[in-house]
Amino acid sequence: MRITKSFAETRAASLGTVGLVPTMGFLHEGHLSLITAARQASDTVVMSMFVNPLQFDRDDDLVRYPRDLERDVELATAAGADIVFAPELEEMYPQEQFTRVIVNQLSDELEGPNRPGHFEGVATVVAKLLAGIQPDRSFFGRKDAQQLAIVRRMATDLSMPGEIVGVPIVREADGLALSSRNVFLSAEERAAALALSRGLMRAADLAGGGEREGSALSAAVHNEVGDSLEVEYVTLAGQDLVQPLETLDRPAFLALAAWAGETRLIDNIHFDSDEFVADRGTRLTERSVLYGTGEI
């Protein structure tokens, strides 16, 4: 394991085919599954850890975003990463960042209206990581489904040679999708949040039984969640353009955002290929390494 601080150092240390796993640190098994996927496809696995100010729409969210580099390096090493690229702010933004990468249309729906500037910040920092590290493959979780679509389109639109790989969501044994933000949930909020994955699984069951109406799939989630959480949206959207779909007639995902107290959670189910096979994610058999996620 090697910790690098600059792009040049990271490129020099990256031999053979390179798999990049971009993260903001504070790892959980979702991130570790990205390393596993990268390990299988790459000679050198680079995990970047950088809390990117550009993608936070709220300052308080940036300030309270959890950080623990020492623990992260241990976890990344055990999972098979070769390099942890943990740049200081001065390496990523040595001067005022005038350049922005914007992916129009794909940023407009779902998370877009609720998080102004967020995807511009994501697209810009991922463009930097891809341009600066030049990986053969980059691995992103399907949990951030819209982010994955945007990054994929950005890389294609900018003629970047590397491949963008989406990796299934990792869930706790009881269904809660792993997220660094889960540490903020009280025991009661965490219990209520389980309704989100239950609703998505119910929708996946319906789709498996032939249901193709987006409104029926969304209703399954709303019914399960009820009044226990404040739901921002439940939307069926295309995997390529994040366009809201009335009907499940192409590769898509059913995505939601909801508030459990002060904590905003997102989750989704992907429907793949012509048969709309549901990717429900994978489940841990043991409790997550993530701190403070309450009893399960």
Active site residues: 31
Q: Which residue, 128 or 190, is less far from a second copy as judged by CB?
A: 128
Query: CA-to-CA distance for 85 and 79, rounded, in angstroms?
Result: 15
Q: How far is the CB of 114 from a second copy (least distance, A)?
A: 20
11 or 280: whose CB is closer to a second copy?
A: 11
Q: How far is the CB of 106 from a second copy (least distance, A)?
A: 6
> CA-based angle 51:131:73, to the nearest 5?
40
**Is the CB of 154 or the CB of 185 nearer to a second copy?**
154
Residue 120 phi, psi dihedral angles, 5° rounding:
-60, -45
Structure tokens at 263: 């904590």
Measure the CA–CA gap between 219 and 196, rounded to whole angstroms.
Answer: 12
- Residue 201 CB, nearest approach to a second copy (Å): 32
How far is CA 4 from each of CA 46, 88, 124, 225, rounded to the nearest angstrom? 10, 10, 21, 44
26 in Cβ contact with 180 (< 8 Å): yes
Smallest gap from residue 244 Cβ to a second copy (A): 16
- State the residue for tokens 């949040």: 193
Distance CA 111, CA 89 (A): 26
Q: How far is the CB of 29 from a second copy (least distance, A)?
A: 29
| Shorter beta-carbon distance to a second copy: residue 160 or 194 | 160
Q: Between residues 82 and 120, which has the closer beta carbon with respect to a second copy?
A: 120
Interface residues toward a second copy, by CB under 8 A: 7-8, 11, 92, 95, 97-106, 123-124, 127-132, 134, 153-154, 156-161
- Identify which of residues 42 and 124 has a Cβ nearer to a second copy in the complex: 124
Nearest distance, CB of residue 123 and a second copy, angstroms? 7
Please state, in angstroms and as integers, the Cα–Cα distance from residue 203 to each residue in 44, 144, 190, 240, 259, following that order: 39, 19, 21, 21, 20
Q: Which residues contact 35 (CB under 8 A, 6 or more apart)?
A: 21, 45, 47, 76, 79, 80, 81, 139
Tokens of 8: 């040049």
Task: Give the N- to C-terminal CA distance of the chain in Å, as an integer.
Answer: 33
Residue 46 tokens, joined: 């680079």
